[in-house]
Amino acid sequence: MIRSRQNGRTLNDGPEQPEIEKREQEEVLSRAAISARVVYQAILVEGETELRRPASALVFSGLAAGLSMGFSLVAQGLLQSHLPDTAWRVLVSKTGYAVGFLIVVLGRQQLFTENTLTAVLPFLRNKSLTVFLNVTRLWLLVLVANIAGAFFFAWLLARTAAFGDDVKNAFAEIGRAPLTLSFGVVWIRGVFAGWLIALMVWLLPFAESARIWVIGVLTYLIGLGSLTHIIAGSVDVLYLVAAGQISWGKYVQAFMLPTLLGNIVGGVSLVAVLNHAQVTAGQEKQTL
């Protein structure tokens, strides 16, 4: 190896130079942004894994998620009941909306719109009847289990003395909010909520230490914008059902149906456009 000094620096000559270039290339790759294709493959693998899970595992995980989402209502109600009735109160109280999502997503529980969206990618890759039936099975099991867990949690809030009357009044106020809106408004707000959840699914695989911020910021935006989410919002409205203030029919007609349809349309459309179309279009272009 030949060494020479120039301007006070030691210069390497010969075989060491390729090694330096290799290290530099590795550093560039380590600092480069993760490609859309890599994120796509990570979500695809996760979706295929979800489709293979047994029904019992989906149901128990879905029940846990429905129960966990109840803490979004608890956190909001506690904050709202302890803050003064001012214009800025909602900015603080809606931070509680993210609590249930943080528990569910970080705890890897089955949540309709989050885990169910990842299962759409395998179907978009293989549009067979078998895959479609597996996706339908996953959606139905998780949805029913989520709503069952949400209702049980809401029933506990309404029928026990776990919280005082001031907090329960806050629960009821939160639950009544979406019922004052028309079917179309609840639906379009559900579409926006579905888009944000789909974005969260897209961002999470490589968020690493920022996962809490990704979940917290996007779900806070859903809560602050009064966008409708089928499970988080069901806990709120089912509290009124459990308290005997509204009927099951009112819940289904005024909240569940428009929100469910909106979440599906928003989430699936963004998964199809963002997660699938852009990646498959890029692959087709490379093969030309």
Cα 267 to the center of its chain, rounded Å: 10
What digits encode the pLDDT tens for the residues 121-177?
888 888 899 999 999 999 999 999 999 999 999 999 999 999 999 999 999 999 999
Q: Is residue 218, in this structure, part of any structural domain at all?
A: yes
pLDDT digits (tens, 9 = 90+) for 159-171: 999 999 999 999 9
Cβ atoms of residues 270 and 195 within 8 Å: yes
Residue-level pLDDT at 78: 97
Is residue 145 within 8 A of residue 55, CB to CB? The reply is no
Domain assignment present for residue 266? The answer is yes
Residues 6+ positions from 278 with CB-CB distance below 8 Å: 36
**Is residue 183 one of the residues assigned to a domain?**
yes
Residue 221 predicted with pLDDT over 90: yes
Residues 6+ apart with CB under 8 A from 279: 36, 37, 40
Name the band, by pLDDT with cuts 50, 70 and 90, for residue 251: very high
Q: Which one, of 29, 32, 30, 43, lies nearest residue 278 by Cα?
A: 43
Mean pLDDT of the 15-27 span: 60
Is 21 inside a domain boundary?
A: no
The predicted pLDDT at position 282 comes to: 55
pTM (predicted TM-score): 0.84
Other CB atoms within 10 Å distance of the CB of residue 57: 13
Q: Containing domain of residue 88, as a range?
A: 39-287
Residue 167 CA from chain centroid, whole number: 27
Per-residue pLDDT tens digits for 257-287: 999 999 999 998 887 776 677 777 656 544 4
Flag whether 33 is in a domain: no
Mean pLDDT score, 209-237: 96
| 72-82 b/e (C-beta count within 10 Å ≥ 16 → b) | bbbbbbbbbbe
The enclosing domain of 229 has a CATH number of: 1.20.1080.10
Burial of 251 (0-12, 13-18, 19+ CB in 10 A): buried
| 85-123 pLDDT tens trace | 999 999 999 999 999 999 999 999 999 988 888 888 888
Phi, psi of 111 (to 5 degrees): -120, 130
Q: Is residue 8 domain-resident?
A: no
Mean pLDDT of 230-240: 97
Instruction: Give me the number of domains the chain comprises.
Output: 1
Q: Which tops the pLDDT comparison, 63 or 287?
A: 63
Residue 23 has pLDDT above 90, yes or no: no
The percent of residues above 90 in pLDDT, for the chain, comes to 66
In a domain, 15, yes or no: no
Q: pLDDT averaged over the chain?
A: 87
Contact 120, 47 (CB under 8 A): yes
